[in-house]
């Protein structure tokens, strides 16, 4: 049985969980960490993933099933290396996996693969999405059926190299006092194979309506976006990277602007923190990963979940991941 805040599976290392409810079950689209002895660096070279697995649970607490490898990099003709955090979306009767990988030139791109079944296997399109770049796509379908893809990650994820709109190999994070690099968002085409709109920056503002600054590392966006809707409001949540929080901002429109609200989760064991949020049978859950099972090895992560609680005013209670008095 899967228990709250315990590793869902331990026969492989899994990370970057994107959870969805399909046909009344919970499906988790995750990265598959491959153990190796290479060193960690700021380019994320330690995250050497080459395939995806789908996990599922019939209900919260049920046994977590690994559906095995659902896509391997050898079957993605445009990809060269490093298949990082994926997401999925169900549209037009098909299940679409949206995933990042480095192309043959070493630049991260976003690709699409599809299947008739939520647990795959998935067949990749021949080319990456034209105009795509960076990592961590999160696909959100709004009530009108439009699919928005939020994406972008600093450092290894290369987002700071696209500030001018085109790839600049010398691109650096902005200095103190300058506006932070913001996540990107594009609307997907009806057939889910291309961007229907150019990717645009999604603004995250402070309490005074000013864009968060690059030096505000406790609050600014780093990677791992997720979008969900609660009581008609849009909640953009993300990792702050260097400060290891899962933070969130809310807004009235899926393209923003969003106003910073607070932290959803304090740091976990391990450098990265990556999450997703779902509603299942009237309760809300956060799926995340940490490195507790591997004893703190950054690229040997396992996926977990915990319940998430809203306050009356729509703010989210901060989760302290190892405080057993809170769950």
Provide the minimum distance between the beta carbon of 15 and ligand FUB in the complex, in angstroms, as a whole number.
5
Instruction: Check residue 46 for interaction with ligand FUB (CB under 6 A).
Output: no
**What is the total count of residues that contact ligand FUB (CB under 6 A)?**
13
Contact 206/199 with Cβ under 8 angstroms? Answer: no
User: H or E segment at 90?
Assistant: strand 87-91
Instruction: Check residue 103 for interaction with ligand FUB (CB under 6 A).
Output: no
Provide the minimum distance between the beta carbon of 248 and ligand FUB in the complex, in angstroms, as a whole number.
16
Q: Which of 285, 113, 84 is nearest to 192 (CA)?
A: 113
* Residue 64 C-alpha from the chain's centroid: 20
Of residues 135 and 181, the one with the C-beta less far from ligand FUB: 135
Between CA 39 and CA 46, with CA 41 as vertex, the angle to 5 degrees is 55
Instruction: Check residue 224 for interaction with ligand FUB (CB under 6 A).
Output: yes
Joined together, the tokens standing for residue 99 give 């995933």
Instruction: Check residue 292 for interaction with ligand FUB (CB under 6 A).
Output: no
Binding-site member from 161, 228, 274, 304 for ligand FUB (CB under 6 A): 274
**Residue with the two structure tokens 């506006």:** 179
* Rounded Cα distance, 163 and 40, in Å: 26
Exactly one of 16, 33, 66, 87 is catalytic; name it: 16
Exactly one of 87, 136, 223, 292 is catalytic; name it: 223
Instruction: Check residue 85 for interaction with ligand FUB (CB under 6 A).
Output: yes
* Rounded Cα distance, 272 and 269, in Å: 9
Instruction: Check residue 132 for interaction with ligand FUB (CB under 6 A).
Output: no
Active site residue 142: no
* Rounded Cα distance, 181 and 214, in Å: 7
Active site residue 168: no
Question: Among all residues, which ones are annotated catalytic?
Answer: 16, 223
Residues forming the site for ligand FUB (CB under 6 A): 15-16, 31, 47, 84-85, 135-136, 153, 223-224, 272, 274
């Amino acid at each position: 049985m899967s228990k709250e805040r315990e590793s869902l599976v331990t026969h492989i290392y899994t990370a970057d969980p994107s959870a969805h409810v399909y046909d009344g079950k919970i499906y988790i689209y995750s990265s598959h960490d491959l153990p190796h002895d290479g060193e960690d660096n700021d380019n994320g070279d330690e995250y050497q993933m080459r395939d995806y697995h789908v996990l599922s649970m019939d209900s919260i607490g049920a046994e977590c099933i690994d559906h095995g490898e659902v896509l391997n990099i050898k079957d993605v003709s445009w990809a060269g290396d490093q298949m990082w955090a994926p997401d999925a979306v169900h549209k037009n009767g098909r299940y679409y996996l949206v995933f990042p990988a480095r192309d043959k030139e070493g630049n991260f791109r976003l690709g699409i693969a599809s299947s008739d079944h939520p647990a795959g296997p998935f067949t990749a399109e021949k080319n990456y999405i034209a105009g795509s770049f960076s990592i961590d796509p999160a696909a959100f379908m709004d009530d009108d059926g439009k699919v928005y893809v939020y994406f972008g990650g600093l450092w290894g994820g290369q987002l700071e190299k696209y500030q001018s709109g085109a790839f600049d190999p010398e691109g650096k994070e902005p200095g103190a006092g300058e506006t932070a690099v913001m996540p990107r968002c594009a609307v997907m085409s009806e057939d889910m194979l291309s961007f229907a709109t150019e990717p645009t920056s999604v603004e995250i503002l402070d309490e005074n309506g000013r864009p968060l600054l690059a030096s505000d590392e406790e609050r600014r966006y780093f990677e791992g976006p997720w979008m969900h809707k609660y009581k008609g409001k849009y909640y953009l949540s993300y990792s702050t990277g260097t400060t290891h929080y899962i933070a969130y901002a809310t807004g009235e429109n899926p393209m923003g602007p969003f106003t910073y609200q607070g932290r959803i989760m304090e740091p976990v064991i391990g450098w990265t923190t990556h999450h997703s949020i779902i509603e299942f049978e009237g309760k809300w859950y956060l799926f995340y990963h940490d490195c507790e099972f591997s004893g703190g090895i950054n690229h040997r992560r396992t996926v977990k979940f915990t319940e998430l609680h809203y306050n009356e005013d729509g703010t989210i209670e901060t989760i302290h991941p190892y405080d057993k008095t809170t769950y």
